[in-house]
Amino acid sequence: MQPNTNTQFGDKEMLTDALASQKFVTSNYNSWVNECANPTLRDQMMSLLKEEHEIESDVFCEMQKRGWYQVTPADQNKVEQVKQKYLQQQ
C-alpha cells in the first residue's frame, strides 16, 4: 500500500502541531533543568526553557486569536476555593 503523499496541512493543523511540539519540548527542558548539577549549564538550560515557553505562548496566542484554541474562563468561586485550600496548607 502506497502512503498518501497528497495530504495538505493548513495553518490550523500546523499551529496545532507546533503547540503540541512546544509542550513536549518545554516538558523535557523542565526535567533537564531540574537535574542539572552544574550551575552554568543550569543557567543555560533555564534560558533555553524560557525561550521555548515564549515560543509556546506565541503559538498559543496566535491560535486563540484565530479562534482555534478556546479557553473557558474559570468560575471565580472555584478559583477562590482552590486559593483558600492552598493557603491553608502553607
Domain parsing of the chain, residue ranges: 11-88
- H-assigned helices in the chain: 11-34, 39-65, 76-88
Task: Count CB-CB contacts under 10 A for residue 58.
Answer: 13
pTM of the complete model: 0.72
pLDDT computed for residue 8 by the predictor: 82
pLDDT digits (tens, 9 = 90+) for 56-88: 999 999 999 999 999 888 899 999 999 999 988
Q: What is the pLDDT averaged over residues 30-51?
A: 95
pLDDT computed for residue 31 by the predictor: 94
Residue 5 pLDDT greater than 70, yes or no: no
